[in-house]
Structure 1
Amino acid sequence: MTSLVAMGLAARAEEPVITSSLTTPTPLKAAPTKDGKLATQTEIVAGQDQIPMLTASSADALQGAISMYEEIVAGGGWEQIGSRTLKKGAKGDAVIALRQRLIRENYLPFDSLSSGSAGLYDETMEDAVRAFQLNHGILPSGIVAEKTLAQLNVPAETRLGMLRENLPRVEAYAQDLSEFAILVNLPAAQLETVENGRVYSRHNIIVGKLERPSPTLASKVSDINFNPYWKIPASIVARDIVPKYLGDPGYLQDNHIRVFDGVDGPEIDPTFIDWTATDPERYFFRQEPGPHNSLGTVKINFPNQFMVYMHDTPHRELFGRNVRFESSGCVRIDQVSTVVKWILDRTAAPLDEVSYQNLTTTTEQFDQKIENGPDVRWMYLTAWATEDGRVNFRPDVYSLDGTGFIFGQPQPRTY
């Protein structure tokens, strides 16, 4: 990457047949997780053979899941679990009912019901509950409480409908997908970097608010901006920036936002403008690079009609929440440096941690073109299956199930 070399910030390079089990399932176990209160983790998982949310075989895996749930529904579905907290060491009829419920979705083998410990919440059941929680985006505590009970009690017919609803989405998102890709699942608020059919890293992300939903799209990374300017969209100026300025005359200066008479026009003094009677598209608002910048230290671009992108954020505390629908449509990435360095390592020249920090601690803007960058998919998957037999479900946060939605800009939700 000669441009980075010229800046004196070059990296110090270091030498560093899938089949579906859904037709003949085996009981599922939870993957190892870190301690904490987050249901999902940001981490590098390279070498752990973890299957991505989307591959060329995803439609076949999902069709296998549909067949399995059709059999469950034909067999009468499953019984509701009573509202009681259960955890390791519990005994009695409630534990037997939970065991029966987990068997129905193949989290436990059928013969465990006839064992002498069928009424004991043992370590095997705890592992099964953790696997269920992971597949539903719940903190994998191994304890059955309110959130887990709610998901256990979703009817089998509803789950089958969700699987069917997502099959055309999976087929569309997988079309022309290479093995070098960035996958964003909006309902899951997670991102995966993928190479050679396996996950390299997984990231918690912040996606669009219900009233400002993120779109779905297919594209390819084109360039990366370090220390970017934030060219503020007129819609955000009207809804956020101008109202805050009217309430606090120091807001623009405090946040290093400058106003121009058009994109290439001269800078103007905002105090001379009657903002209560001015169309926000009349002027161009730009936030300067630096620690205050809403895009953080880096922005990842890809061609799309929605003017969205992926970026860092100065408000990293939001990644500590399990519900992360807080943006105006773009995607903010936890530990974005991992994604950036992963892209550069495979398309340009490696960028080590010291060089990355040297680059991003300045306020000098630097743009890096990316040749043959990873594919980008922003997806709306409320249900998906992987070739190792895992069936995943997430809430329909934008209320799009049942509408035939695949690609595009969802309508805002106002409730």
Structure 2
Amino acid sequence: MKQIGIYTLLFIAFYLLLSLHTQAQIDEDLRKIIENKEYNIGGQPLFCKKTLPEFYYNRGFQRAWTNEDNITELIEQIKLAPEEGLYTEDYHYEYLKENYKGLASITPALDILLTDAYLLYASHLLSGKVNPEKVVAEWQVNKKEMDLKLLLSESLEDIKIARSLNGLKPKYKTYVRLKKALKLYRTIEKNGGWRAIDQGETLRAGMVDTRIEQIRSRLFVTGDISTDKTDSLNLFDSTLEEAIKVFQKRHGLEPDGAIGRTTLAILNEPVEKRIEQIILNMERCRWLPLDLGEHYILVNIANYQLEVVKNGQLEMEMSVVVGKPYRKTPVFSNKMMYLVFNPYWTVPPTIFANDVLPAIKKNTGYLKAQNMKVVSGNVEIDPSSIAWAEVTPKNFPYQIRQDPGPNNALGQVKFIFPNAYNVYMHDTNHRELFSKTDRALSSGCIRLSKPIDMAEYVLKNHPAGWPREKIDKTVSKEKNLTVMLSEEIYVHLLYWTSFVDEHDRINFRKDIYERDGILWKAMQQGPPSI
């Protein structure tokens, strides 16, 4: 019994010593700052009002920044924030640089500011500075989840601050290429940008004009032409024509080689505007999921283009038609689940009100001519029993459904990836739209230029076997048929107004939904609290 008592006393003494040691590690000044919610330190507002207190609670109010290498790495990483299209002032850079003079200068307040800087910068690298759902109604993101408090704790312990922050940066090729383009265009800006070209008549190959020299110089700055020197500076020669075509392709214009009003206006866009576009689309990259998947379909709405990628390789691409500016195609990601051959088309309320109902009132034979029926659920209603003159969009109790066939608005096939917007990809009976340069012409869904090719692709490994001959035969029967997919494939609907193509050329596109200005304004504001 005496022996047990001695061991018990020793244990109690050890516990008391441990408690005293632990208690000694608590920084009371730091604790008071946290508990008193002092969200402004030395004129520097704290942004991580939720995560920062939790970080210090978890470590018993011990100071975090006790290693000089960790502090140096953090300040150096923040200094590089502009390379990511972010702003050093959001992360207390100037204050930290001026007030950090070695470990002896680390006060509780400075420790807290370092933590706030890390957590905020890490959050912006991971998920973006701006919450897209708060600035764009038609934008849905799958928010990336990560315990940044734990990441910071582990990074401090292992002296891996720089590595942990670099690990949060997007790895997508679009982001990496835009980052390189940002560096190039900032160099162009530093060197004076480019001069505006004088206004005048449309210029074409073979013409002589004093503005040609200006145009050569402008194209040389952005690498669209290899030299601005020539024996005939004012002659619009074939070399210049090809350079203009390259420029037009980079900007989503019809590459006709002529310098008309639209091409001239885009040539005269200042370098600062292009830098803004690059920064905005780097931010949009940060909104994407951590992993796009090994197999996915990517639609760039602003570029009217679709790509299919598998294991990093481009498998297929095609032109698309997207929503009109007043019926915008939303941005989101989801899995494609099934496709429907010879789909029915249920007329949406807006199209019924604006197009179909007025047409019926003008011509009662409109429904039959368009292969449409009036239905209530699965029950067909005789259109002659309806007093169409009295019908309004609000009092009409039925639906208008178009049967499968050559005139069906959805064409021969539609592809479903369930979402809250009821948006999908489909064929169209208006093939002429794909010859247009601006293709924001749909009611929100994505129309495919090669829908049967897409059907063949997504069904090529289906256990039931779906060769092209079987698909063509199925379509020709004009009977509705649903086929569930056997392979997982993601669909990412994106909105990029600048990107770098496979030829390593920076591309810019018209902001068809006027989203750039709204996002740029949000990017210039102080960061929201996290």
TM-score by length of 1: 0.76
Matches within 5 A, 1:58-69: 58-69=174-185
1:403 to 518, 521, 527: 518
**Structure 1 residue 365 displacement after superposition:** 1.4
AA in 2 matched with 1:132? F
In structure 2, the gaps of 5 or more residues are 1-82, 84-169, 521-530
Within 2, Cα distance between the matches of 1:282 and 1:59? 49
Structure having the larger proportion of residues in helix: 2
Equivalent residue for 1:196? 311
Equivalent residue for 2:323? 208
AA in 1 matched with 2:504? G
AA in 2 matched with 1:355? K
Matches within 5 A, 1:293-312: 293-312=408-427
Q: Tell me, yes or no, if the aligned pair for 1:77 and 1:156 is still in contact at 8 Å.
A: yes
Equivalent residue for 1:101? 218
**Structure 1 residue 210 displacement after superposition:** 2.0
AA in 2 matched with 1:105? T
Quickly say closer, same or farther: Cα 1:278–1:159, change in 2 above 3 A.
Answer: closer
**Structure 1 residue 311 displacement after superposition:** 0.7
Residue deviations 1:236-284, cap 9 Å, x none? 32333222212221111221222222x24x3222333345346367323
AA in 2 matched with 1:292? N
Matches within 5 A, 1:258-269: 258-261=373-376, 263-264=377-378, 266-269=379-382
Quickly say closer, same or farther: Cα 1:361–1:153, change in 2 above 3 A.
Answer: same
Within 2, Cα distance between the matches of 1:225 and 1:138? 34
Residue deviations 1:60-108, cap 9 Å, x none? 2112212222222222221112334444455665332212111211223
Within 2, Cα distance between the matches of 1:92 and 1:278? 58
Q: Which has the higher contact order (CA 8 A, sep 6+)?
A: 1
Equivalent residue for 2:167? none
Within 2, Cα distance between the matches of 1:395 and 1:179? 30
Quickly say closer, same or farther: Cα 1:384–1:328, change in 2 above 3 A.
Answer: same
Classify the secondary structure of the residue corresponding to 1:403: helix
The structure having more radius of gyration, on CA atoms, is: 2
AA in 1 matched with 2:302? P
Equivalent residue for 2:372? 257
Q: Tell me, yes or no, if the aligned pair for 1:348 and 1:370 is still in contact at 8 Å.
A: no
Equivalent residue for 1:37? none
Equivalent residue for 2:385? 272
Within 2, Cα distance between the matches of 1:108 and 1:194? 31
Within 2, Cα distance between the matches of 1:292 and 1:115? 55
Within 2, Cα distance between the matches of 1:87 and 1:259? 55
Q: Tell me, yes or no, if the aligned pair for 2:460 and 2:467 is still in contact at 8 Å.
A: no
AA in 1 matched with 2:381? I
Q: Does 1:144 align with 2:264?
A: no
AA in 2 matched with 1:364? K
Q: Tell me, yes or no, if the aligned pair for 2:352 and 2:393 is still in contact at 8 Å.
A: no
Q: Tell me, yes or no, if the aligned pair for 1:58 and 1:387 is still in contact at 8 Å.
A: no
CA RMSD of aligned residues (A): 2.7
**Structure 1 residue 328 displacement after superposition:** 1.0
Quickly say closer, same or farther: Cα 1:55–1:397, change in 2 above 3 A.
Answer: farther
Quickly say closer, same or farther: Cα 1:339–1:148, change in 2 above 3 A.
Answer: same
Within 2, Cα distance between the matches of 1:248 and 1:380? 40
AA in 2 matched with 1:108? I
Within 2, Cα distance between the matches of 1:323 and 1:233? 24
**Structure 1 residue 59 displacement after superposition:** 0.9
Classify the secondary structure of the residue corresponding to 1:205: strand
Equivalent residue for 1:76? 192
Quickly say closer, same or farther: Cα 1:278–1:170, change in 2 above 3 A.
Answer: closer
2:405 to 275, 283, 290: 290
**Structure 1 residue 338 displacement after superposition:** 1.6
Quickly say closer, same or farther: Cα 1:271–1:146, change in 2 above 3 A.
Answer: same
1:323 to 400, 418, 438: 438
1:239 to 347, 354, 361: 354
Classify the secondary structure of the residue corresponding to 2:339: strand
